[in-house]
A and B are shown apart, each in its own frame.
Chain A
Amino acid sequence: MSQTTLIPEFVTRQSFIELDGRRRAQSLFDEGTWKELGGPFDRMESPWLPLQGIAPQFDDGCIVIRGKIGGMAAVAIALEGAFQGGSIGEVSGAKMTAALDLAAQDSQAGKRTAAILLLETGGVRLQEANLGLAAVAEVISSVLALRPHAPVITLIAGTVGCFGGMSLAAGVSSYVVMTREARLGLNGPEVIEQESGIDEFDSSDRALIWAIHGGEQRVGMGLADALVEDDADKIKATIRRYVQAELRLEYRSQQVELYRDRIAALDTSGQIDPMSLRRGWNSRKTGELR
């Protein structure tokens, strides 16, 4: 037996979560095909953060990279979770919307251009309040404009997760890919605890949080399509399959009746068990690719 076979795969793999937003986005593309648009040297900073005593970032925490994935045109838009919690402000929102709109233009002109949203974000940037809210609305309408022409793939790797307004963007995207470490939810655990009390949701109970918001549960419930390991090669391969995938015939966000009925049928007299929720909700045909 050679020495190398003794080293387990999880030791030799390249972790995706350990990469920063820019390297994550770069890692998805075919080698030598990508180019960053509106990068740090263009200095598109938030004009609002310095007014409030906060240092801005040269790319406003939003990285846009276009190139080829599996030979097909694609654009990746990554939010940097380490900068202001990956929050979406006026500038980062405008970059995201513009990139999605350009992809839609190219797709409508016959060059199908998929978009990958790498969302590590707590949602709207509180310091830019209304502008951030407007940005979320624009991003959502741009996702809706693109998805009939090319897949919009949300990738949530962790460890920030995807919450607030941007969880709505994840909700309307064609496909959602998550790791076990990732979390997806409208309200984050701290927000729920703050608003409804610790009896409702204990934000220090990590097992509870991941049993509700975690990637495994979200995929199990059919609210996300694929569960991937924290391995850059495996994530790249999964994203490539979705970039090349057929367009969906029906989106989760169109199944209003289905979800309305399911929520109405929930028995809230006792604590709902995550496993039974999975059994009840996973019957829907998900975007799992064969």
Chain B
Amino acid sequence: MERIEFDYPAARRRITKKAHVGVVGSGDMEVLMEPAKGERAHVSITTSVDGFQDSWKAVFDRFFSKFDGAVRVQINDAGATPGSVLLRLEQAVEVISQ
């Protein structure tokens, strides 16, 4: 198991809602997305699968290239693929945008 953290200082737009999507089932993950405490986005990941820090970084770099909300993202992961991770993040964004 690994814990991974990222900061995205450029994501500063204020967010007011929160979202919880997904389940920690095989090949899936859950996300909590909430307003960040400071003026930047922060991501923390707990994953059962070790050694994929670069893949996580690539997924979040791509995600925050389109999304600018100052969110606190927490993930529990049971081996979701990068594609599933992006879909779950987009699903969470959909919920906080409603």
Judge whether A57 and B76 touch: CB under 8 Å: yes
Judge whether B30 and A57 touch: CB under 8 Å: yes
CB distance from A55 to the nearest CB of B (A): 5
Say whether B58 faces chain A, with CB atoms less than 8 Å apart.
Answer: no
Say whether B24 faces chain A, with CB atoms less than 8 Å apart.
Answer: yes
CB distance from B54 to the nearest CB of A (A): 19
CB distance from A251 to the nearest CB of B (A): 33
Report the count of interface residues on A (CB-CB < 8 A).
18
Question: Which of these, B20, B23, B25, contacts A39 with CB under 8 Å?
Answer: B20
Provide the A47-69 mask, 1 if CB < 8 A to any CB of B, else 0.
00010011111100100000000
User: Number of residue pairs across A and B with beta carbons under 8 Å?
Assistant: 49
Question: Which of these, A41, A45, A54, A82, contacts B48 with CB under 8 Å?
Answer: A54
Chain B hits for A54, CB < 8 A:
1, 48
Report the count of interface residues on B (CB-CB < 8 A).
19
Say whether A20 faces chain B, with CB atoms less than 8 Å apart.
Answer: yes
22 chain-A/chain-B pairs, Cβ below 8 angstroms: A20-B23, A21-B23, A39-B20, A41-B20, A41-B32, A45-B76, A50-B46, A53-B48, A54-B1, A54-B48, A55-B24, A55-B47, A55-B76, A55-B77, A55-B78, A56-B24, A57-B23, A82-B25, A82-B26, A83-B23, A83-B24, A84-B24
Name which of A21, A40, A56, A80 has the most chain B CB atoms within 10 A of its CB: A40
Question: Which of these, B32, B47, B78, contacts A40 with CB under 8 Å?
Answer: B32
- How many Å lie between the Cα of A41 and that of B48 in the bound state? 21
Say whether B18 faces chain A, with CB atoms less than 8 Å apart.
Answer: yes
A residues neighboring B (CB under 8 Å): 20-21, 39-41, 45, 50, 53-58, 61, 80, 82-84
Q: Closest B-chain residue to A49, C-beta based?
A: B1
Q: Are A58 and B32 CB-contacts (below 8 A) given A41-B18, A53-B48? A: yes
Judge whether A55 and B25 touch: CB under 8 Å: no
Q: Closest A-chain residue to B28, C-beta based?
A: A82
For window 36-51 of B, CB contacts with A under 8 Å fall at 46-48
- How many Å lie between the Cα of A21 and that of B25 in the bound state? 12
Q: Closest B-chain residue to A50, C-beta based?
A: B1
Question: Which of these, B18, B20, B32, B48, contacts A55 with CB under 8 Å?
Answer: B48
- How many Å lie between the Cα of A57 and that of B29 in the bound state? 9
Excluding A57-B76, A80-B23, A82-B26, 16 further A-B contacts by CB distance (< 8 Å) are A39-B20, A41-B20, A41-B32, A53-B48, A54-B48, A55-B29, A57-B24, A58-B20, A58-B30, A58-B32, A58-B76, A61-B24, A82-B23, A82-B24, A82-B25, A83-B23
